[in-house]
Amino acid sequence: MDYVFVVTYGRSGSTLVQGILNAMPRTLVRGENGLYVQHLFRAWQAADGIREKRKGRSAHRASNAFFGINALTRGRFVRSAQRLVVGGILGKHDQKDYDRIGFKEVLWHQVAPDETEPFFAWLDEVCPGAKYVLNSRDIEQVVGSGFWQRQDADAAMAAIRRVIEIQDHLRATRPDRVHETRYEVITGDDRAASDAALRGLAEFVVGSCDDALLETLRGTLEVGHGPNPFGKSRRDKKGA
């Protein structure tokens, strides 16, 4: 099983990228989920912290307050987390029907700077060989959308900048497992550039892209994705 995650910020066109990925053969990419994998990671950190403090011979005795803490290992925790992640993505679907699974998320800014590499190292263990699609869009267009207009301006920019920092980290540490997508290129009027972007994404995810698959991917551009399809903000819809 291969894994692919879309790393981006809100209103970047990530739901469209999600749709494009799901148009690829034997690929299942879910939408946002509150970045629950971060909570699994922090659960391990909490468990490992107490294990490191209290492990030892005395913890093997049933009379010890930390009896059994030695049985809690990273390997066991990772395997359990993997079952949760894979099961959460597949839902009612059968794993044999897919070669690659993942999700897109816009809450990566919740990953604190000092836990960035530990978190992604752990995620790489849970989802071996994970690939990361780094999606971006013009920041002025992003913060002008209805979603960000309801946020504090400074907090919104801080969240977006934090995601950009994480994207930079992934570029630097996992250059062979990241791929760039740009909303303006995919949806732009330059057909050649858009086709090249779609082909590049497919080649990164599934390994190839023939003309038939390209046409399938182009078909997703005609479908509204997200709460405000085709780049329209709530304010635009209200005529403001």
CATH number at residue 202: 3.40.50
pLDDT at residue 240 in the model: 33
Which of 39-48, 138-147, 180-189, 208-217 is the least confident region?
A: 138-147
Summarize the confidence of residues 203-218 as an average pLDDT.
98
DSSP string, 72-114: --HHHHHHHHHHHHHHHHHTTS-GGG-SEEEEEES-GGGS-GG
Domain that holds residue 100: 2-237
Which of 117-126, 145-154, 169-178, 224-233 is the least confident region?
A: 224-233
User: What backbone phi and psi angles, to 5 degrees, belong to 209?
Assistant: -155, 105
Tally of domains in the chain: 1
- Whether 176 shows a pLDDT value over 70: the answer reads yes
| CB of 143 closer than 8 Å to CB of 156 | yes
pLDDT class of 237 with cuts at 50, 70, 90: very low
The chain-wide mean pLDDT, for the chain, equals: 92
pLDDT at residue 225 in the model: 78
Kindly report the pTM of this predicted structure: 0.91
Of 144, 120, 147, 145, residue with least CA distance to 134: 120
Q: Could you give the 3-state DSSP secondary structure of residue 44?
A: helix
Those residues whose C-beta lies under 8 Å from the C-beta of residue 131, and which sit 6 or more positions away, are 2, 3, 4, 5, 102, 177, 178, 179, 204, 205
- What percent of the chain has a predicted confidence (pLDDT) above 70? 94
Those residues whose C-beta lies under 8 Å from the C-beta of residue 190, and which sit 6 or more positions away, are none
- Whether 219 shows a pLDDT value over 70: the answer reads yes
| Cα gap 89→197, rounded to integer Å | 26
pLDDT class of 32 with cuts at 50, 70, 90: very high
